[in-house]
Amino acid sequence: MAKSRYYHPEYRKAEVSAIVQALDRGQSVSVIGPPSVGKTNLLRFLDQERLATSDPDSPWNQYAPQSAEQGPVVAINIDPNALLPSLPQEKGNVAAAAWPGFEMLVHRATITPQLYPVYRPPRDGEDDDPDLIEHIGRLQDRFNNAHPDVTDFEDRLHAHLALRHLESILDAALTGARLQETPIRIAFFMDEFERLLVTMPDYFFVALRSIRDRFKYNVMFVTFTRNSLAYLTGNRLPVLEPFIELFHDSTVCLRPFADDDAWRMIEQLEKRTVSKDDYSLGLLIRATGGFAGLLRAGFQHAEKLAPIQAPDYTQAVGLAASRLSAEPNVQAECETLLRGLNKEEIAALYAVAGGTFEYSPTIARELVNKSLLAQDTQGTGVHIAPPVLAAFIRNNPKPPEAHAAVPPVTLPES
């Protein structure tokens, strides 16, 4: 088995603490971050399967003080790329269209060991409680049968009632823990949430709000997106507002690496190759703006930055950005970053680079949240934040095409 990557306990402290603290308060969280910023590593860092519950360095122990009384937060990762095809359906059958989403939530919950109701014998020689044993057994049966029932295609009613099965196993998990005075809380981490939005009907998300209302502060959701939820939902917002309003109090913008995290990433990269000159590495961090993907791509060219000399450090960073933007793998990473944006955002970045940007508060806000635009020091305008991306755009005046939003490939083509 491959060894899990080591993460420093202070990894992305600002963002990690904000996410975990919000969940500890029972709030759902919207995490916004562009491509190349390091979202996958953040998800890995928060993965409880990798961490011992007794680990004092675990973020779930560092930043969730209410866990001692209200129980730990059990994180369940939801990947839309693992959605199953929708059920055969008549046109307009919303339950059949929403079934893949509910099936995934049920499946991921039933294979999460921390959720399974387990009878814990009393300590100090006390007698077993037969009523409690029986009750836990019934909860286990409910848990064991939930996913088989959801996938029982011979009885379409089971699949049609997938929401009820999800509600049932969440109740079984929470009740089984509460009865034995070992409470837990549950958070569904929804990666690439945009793909769920374009795949699932409105009913699915409104139903998730009903789940949240049923279990109050014991069930939460964390969405990972490239834009704000209000921006992504567009004209669907009036219908989806019951779900979207869960995130109003807790939005976390995933920023590029701060210096400490950037140097730690470089240390990890150096372990695979050879050490580089600190001056070159400092220019690399500034030129890439701390974006993880750009930092990784530029690392192998760091030695080419050593000869750079300039009257001041800002100019040296600009020269380093230009030098790095000439490398094919750095160019590919810049293209990946840009193609992860929508066409309006790409057009705005190219307009800024060309000095023709007409201020659009909505687009500007989205790009600032992604650390792709920043205010000029004079406060009179904006500039592209990662210098290497600015250099790439200057050298490639034709904007790349934005990737069209596509549903997971397991779903039937329309």
Where do the structural domains in the chain lie, given as residue ranges? Answer: 13-253, 259-395
CA 1 to chain centre: 25
What is the bridge-based pairing of β-strands 382-384 and 373-375?
antiparallel
Instruction: Report the distance separating Cα 276 and Cα 266, nearest Å.
Output: 9
Distance in angstroms (rounded) separating the CA atoms of residues 345 and 337: 11
* Residues 266-303: tens digit of each pLDDT: 998 888 777 778 999 999 999 999 999 999 999 999 99
- Please tell me the distance from the alpha carbon of residue 223 to that of residue 18, in angstroms, as a whole number: 14
d(CA 244, CA 397): 37
Low-confidence ranges of the chain (pLDDT < 50): 1-2, 413-414
Q: 193-248 pLDDT, tens per residue?
A: 999 998 999 999 999 999 999 999 999 999 999 999 999 998 999 999 999 999 99
pTM higher than 0.85 for the full model? yes
**Per-residue pLDDT at 52:** 60
Helices 387-395 and 343-353, axial angle in degrees (round to 10): 90
At residue 225, the pLDDT reads 93
Q: Give CA–CA dist 200/332, Å, rounded.
A: 32
Fold (CATH) for 13-253: Rossmann fold (3.40.50)
The pLDDT tens digits for 332-346 are: 999 999 998 988 999
| Crossing angle for the helix pair 162-179 and 94-110, to the nearest 10 degrees | 30
Cβ atoms of 222 and 189 within 8 Å: the answer is yes
Predicted pLDDT of residue 404? 67
Reference 371, options 390, 356, 355; nearest CA is 390
| pLDDT at residue 414 in the model | 47
Residue 188 phi/psi, 5-degree rounding, is -90, 115
What is the three-state SS of the chain? CCCCCCCCCCCCHHHHHHHHHHHHCCCCEEEECCCCCCHHHHHHHCCHHHCCCCCCCCHHHHCCCCHHHHCCEEEEEECHHHCCCCCCCCCCCHHHHHHHHHHHHHHHHHCCHHHCCCCCCCCCCCCCCHHHHHHHHHHHHHHHHHHHHHCCCCCHHHHHCHHHHHHHHHHHHHHHHHHCCCCCEEEEEECCHHHHHHHCCHHHHHHHHHHHHHHHHHEEEEEEECCCHHHHHHHHHHHHHHHHHHHCCCEEECCCCCHHHHHHHHHHHHHHCCCCCHHHHHHHHHHHCCCHHHHHHHHCCHHHHCCCCCCCHHHHHHHHHHHHCCCHHHHHHHHHHHHCCCHHHHHHHHHHHCCCCCCCHHHHHHHHHCCCEEECCCCCCEEECCHHHHHHHHHCCCCCCCCCCCCCCCCCCC
